[in-house]
Amino acid sequence: MSDLEDALERARAGDANGMAELYRAYAAPLLAYLVTQVRRREDAEDLLGEVFLSAMRDVSRFDGNIGGFRAWLYRIASNRAVDLARRNARRPEEPLAVAEEA
C-alpha cells in the first residue's frame, strides 16, 4: 500500500492527518488546474478550499482507490468551476468607475 493509499484509508476513518497528507499531495496540482478554469487566481484559491471542504465532508463515503480519489477531487473542482462561471454569468463584474457612475 502506498503512502497516499494509507492516507486515504486514515482519512476515511476520520483521521485529520490522513486528510492533511492528501491535501499536501493534491493541493498544488488542483490549484494549477483551477487557475486554468477560472479568470482570477483568488477565485481558484477559494474554489480549492471548497473542493477540500467537500472532500473532507464526504471522504468517509468515498469508495475507491487513490486513483479514483484523485479523479473525484478533479470532478469536484470541475463542478465548482462551472458553478462559479454560472454565478458570474448571472452577475457580471463591472469596473468600479462604471459602477460609481450608475
Alpha-carbon gap, residue 24 to 90, rounded angstroms: 34
pLDDT for position 99:
55
H or E, element range at 68: helix 66-90
H or E, element range at 28: helix 16-37
Measured in residues, the chain has a length of 102
Whole-model pTM?
0.84
C-alpha cell at 71: 479523479
pLDDT for position 57:
95
Residues lower than pLDDT 50 in the chain: none
Domain borders along the chain are 3-101
| CA 37 to chain CA mean position, Å | 12
User: What is the dotted CATH code of the domain comprising 3-101?
Assistant: 1.10.1740.10
